[in-house]
Amino acid sequence: MLSEPGAFRLWLALMVVLHHFTRFEFGKAPVLVFFTLSGFWIHRVWKARYSQTRDPYLTFVVSRWWRLAPIMLFASALTFAVMFAIGSDSLPVALSQPLRQAASGLFFVGYAGMPVRPVGPAWSLDIEMQFYLVAPLLAIIVQRISWILTLLFGYMAFAFGLAFMPGVVLTSFLLFFVIGMTAAEHQWRPSPRTAIFCMRLAIILTIAILLSPWRFDMLNEHGENWQVFNILLAALLLPIALATSERVGDRIDGALGDHSYVVYLIHWPAILVFRHYDWGGAGGYIAAGLGLLLVVGTVSYAAWRWIDAPINRMRATWVASRRVGEI
């Protein structure tokens, strides 16, 4: 099942959900893989679709914002409602800068640097939008220089960012986007055997560390090596991510892929509720977690069916109408 592109993306999103429920720090690895897949698909659609439209850069940026914004706005409204209902201590801080909160929540850029991010996972949308703003330029670079120089460029941007612009900014993650773009340009496809082997190795490695004395060091955000572990885990997941990228899923798989983004954001209000209350021991926490997951699944499906899917069809129609030669 994970060999299908949509199912694989949903599995990555569920890894993030599990990370937030358990607090085991393996949630950054799926995000890094998402960034790689984003680089892959953005490079492809820019060349095949957006570059063939009127005002291609404007069309591209508006279309990508349009893809992200509706569910983000819904998730933000739902999160603020939950924060108010449970009396979250973070709510007054979040409301203390209403204009900044509204602007960053609507246009994404700057969201990762907010004192309080109501929708916790949405920090990655800030990085995505920063990438979208420069992706057409990056596409030209990737097409005109060798893959070695491309990856070197990505690594140098990564090293420069860590040295001079530390924090949650594009340079800290650019290498993963560039890997995806390079794979698309040069048609890199890991063999199925390699992809499956690396996938199994990632699962075995995660279980082994969970059972080892180094669990805190590798799987806790206060540990010394959790970032190293997440980068290694992402590297092991990249072969299967790139292997699935060429497959064309059916309608159901496409819906699963769309759900990955919806679940990624919509689960956050449930996390706030889960962390706010004392559920009375392990059994209570398991029961609460399962119940909240059921709610997340129901709300996510409704949001996909009545918000995400119809608006996305409108977006696709608008982009198609702007193709050169279309009336």
Q: pLDDT tens for residues 85-114?
A: 999 999 999 999 899 999 999 999 999 988
- Least Cα distance to 196 among 35, 13, 2 occurs for 2
Query: Does the residue 273 lie in any domain?
Result: no
Which has the higher per-residue pLDDT, 108 or 157?
Answer: 108
Query: Does the residue 207 lie in any domain?
Result: yes
In the chain, helix, strand, coil percent, each to 5?
80, 0, 20
Which has the higher per-residue pLDDT, 220 or 136?
Answer: 136
Query: Does the residue 73 lie in any domain?
Result: yes
pTM of the model: 0.94
Query: Does the residue 20 lie in any domain?
Result: no
Enclosing domain of residue 221: 26-247
Structural domains counted in the chain: 1
Query: Does the residue 307 lie in any domain?
Result: no
**What average pLDDT does range 173-188 have in this prediction?**
94
Taking residue 193's Cβ as centre, other Cβ atoms within 10 Å add up to 10
Query: Does the residue 314 lie in any domain?
Result: no
The CA dihedral of 178, 259, 106, 130, to the nearest 10 degrees, is: 0
